[in-house]
Amino acid sequence: MNNDRILEYFFTIGDFAHATAYTYTGRYMQWKIMNFVLKSFVKEAKRFNNRPLRVLDIGCNNGDLIFHISNMYPGYYFTGVDINSCLIAYANKRADFRQDKRIKFFEGDCEHLNFDSKSFDIIIITDVLEHLLNPEMAVKEIYRLLDDTGLAIISVPNGNNLFEYSFMKSLKRVISSRLIFKPRYDKEKGDGYSRGHVSMFSRRKWIRLFEEQHLQVKGYQRGAMFYGGNWIDGRRILFAACLFLDVILDRLPIFNDFTENLLFNLRKM
């Protein structure tokens, strides 16, 4: 793919697709996801006594996560897969510039990947499954590719965010709807996020889906309370108060469903 085609993506579609991430609440949500991924990765590296591991990032985007972790673990082998050919072309150019033969990127469909079974010790897949009509097919592929002693690190949106769907709904009855951000998902209609999310499930339903594909939850952490909105992002004091509240909720298991994202560590049964 030529340079002009790559630049066209990042200056048009790419900028639009990622614009909402560059907000206070959006960046905080992404930080919680990446912090969970990195903490899980460090624990797994210690469990294997830092021997070289094979890592797969499904939905790798432009390779940012792989490049970051590869600096921490120079002896590991990294593979990134994404269905977007522009992103893969860009990631490969970055890898070529680094002249790092441990890092490889491939275009591919996460439901049908051209790798041998049990090829990876760690599989990372963040914010991908919700974009699939049949996410169980991708989870089945994760099970096939994961080594028997390996770890899958998964992030998915919460289709039953009680903060957004219950607390905010009640609050809007008192305060003008113009002051409160509107949920992007109608729980009653079940019609997915505006960001292309077509599979939105509750925490229990995600766990049931994983278990049906013989993957067991070994660790869980709630993400941020919500993705955000202009009303909160434009008021830094309110945003700071939300951060403080979010830290408290992290320590109270009864609020596990008051979250925008669900973060899981999975192993084979």
pTM over 0.85: no
Residue 256 burial by CB count (10 A; 0-12/13-18/19+): exposed, middle or buried?
A: middle
Does the pLDDT value for residue 263 go beyond 70? yes
At 193, is the pLDDT very low, low, confident or very high (cuts 50, 70, 90)? very low
Which domains occur in the chain, in start order? 3-268 (3.40.50.150)
The residue ranges of DSSP E strands in 16-116, in sequence order, are 54-58, 77-82, 103-107
Considering only residues 21 and 123, tell me which one the structure prediction assigns the higher pLDDT: 123
211: three-class secondary structure by DSSP: helix
Cβ–Cβ < 8 Å for 222, 232: no
DSSP 163: I
Q: Are strands 54-58 and 77-82 parallel, antiparallel or unpaired?
A: parallel
Average pLDDT of the residues in 33-41 = 93
pLDDT, residue 208, reads 96
Tell me the average pLDDT of the chain: 82
At 4, is the pLDDT very low, low, confident or very high (cuts 50, 70, 90)? low
At 238, is the pLDDT very low, low, confident or very high (cuts 50, 70, 90)? confident
Among residues 47, 98, 107, 38, which one has the least CA distance to residue 79? 107
pLDDT, residue 267, reads 97
152: three-class secondary structure by DSSP: strand
Cα→Cα distances 231→24, 44, 169, 177, Å = 11, 40, 16, 11
DSSP 50: T
To which residue do tokens 């066209």 refer? 8
The H or E element that residue 220 is part of is strand 215-222
Q: What is the DSSP string of 224-239?
A: -S----HHHHT-HHHH
pLDDT in tens, 62-107: 999 999 999 989 889 999 999 999 999 999 999 999 888 899 999 9
Average pLDDT of the residues in 125-134 = 92
What percentage of the chain exceeds 70 in pLDDT? 78
Length of the chain: 269
pLDDT, residue 33, reads 92
Phi, psi of 220 (to 5 degrees): -145, 145
